[in-house]
């Protein structure tokens, strides 16, 4: 399912719809170009919430500096959503706050080393 994000809360709303309709959701943000192997690794990983590391625009890897999960190239299963007690399970927040706020609900993901190709850093 492709979610067009035309306004700041579109990402939250699309992820909520996807989480209600699918057992497993793989998120590939618009500026991430995964390899087939990276997607396969996420889908077959036994962890309920995992993400592939990538380089930030400052040259650092998000997994080395972030204090919350990242959604750029990630997987969330229904078992992870079932552990969330907040309502709605996906917070209705601006896209810039979604990873941090969602990380408070899901915890820190299992990290795949990557790096995934992050086109945002190549301006």
Q: CATH no. for residue 77?
A: 3.90.550.40
Report the chain's C-alpha Rg in angstroms.
13
Secondary structure of residue 119 in the 3-state scheme: helix
Cβ count within 10 A of residue 29 = 18
Any domain includes 3: no
Domain count, the chain: 1
Q: What is the pTM of this model?
A: 0.89
Domain for residue 116, yes or no? yes
What's the pLDDT at 51?
Answer: 95
pLDDT computed for residue 123 by the predictor: 47
> Which pair of tokens denotes residue 93?
């927040």
For residues 91 and 70, what is the distance between their CA atoms, to the nearest angstrom? 15
Question: First vs last Cα of the chain: how many Å apart?
Answer: 27
Hey, what are 68's tokens?
């919350």
The residue segments making up the domain with residue 48 are 10-121
DSSP letters spanning 65-117: H-SS---TEEEEEHHHHHT--SSSSS----HHHHHHHHHHHH-SPEEEEEEEE
- Confidence (pLDDT) at 93: 94
123 residues of the chain, pLDDT tens digit each: 677 778 888 899 999 999 888 889 999 998 999 999 999 999 999 999 999 999 888 888 988 887 777 899 999 999 999 999 999 999 999 988 999 899 899 998 999 998 999 987 554
Answer yes or no: is 5 within a domain: no
Confirm whether 2 is domain-assigned: no
């Amino acid at each position: 399912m492709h979610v067009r994000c035309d306004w700041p809360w579109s990402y939250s709303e699309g992820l909520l719809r996807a989480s209600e309709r699918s057992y497993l959701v793989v998120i590939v943000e618009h500026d991430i170009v995964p390899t087939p192997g990276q997607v396969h690794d996420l889908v077959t990983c036994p962890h309920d919430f995992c993400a592939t590391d990538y380089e930030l625009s400052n040259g650092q890897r998000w997994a080395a500096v972030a204090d919350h999960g990242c959604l750029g190239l990630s997987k969330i299963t229904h078992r992870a959503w079932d552990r969330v007690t907040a309502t709605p399970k996906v917070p209705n927040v601006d896209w810039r706050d979604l990873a941090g706020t969602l990380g408070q609900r899901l915890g820190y993901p299992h990290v795949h080393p990557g790096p995934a190709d992050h086109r945002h850093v190549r301006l």
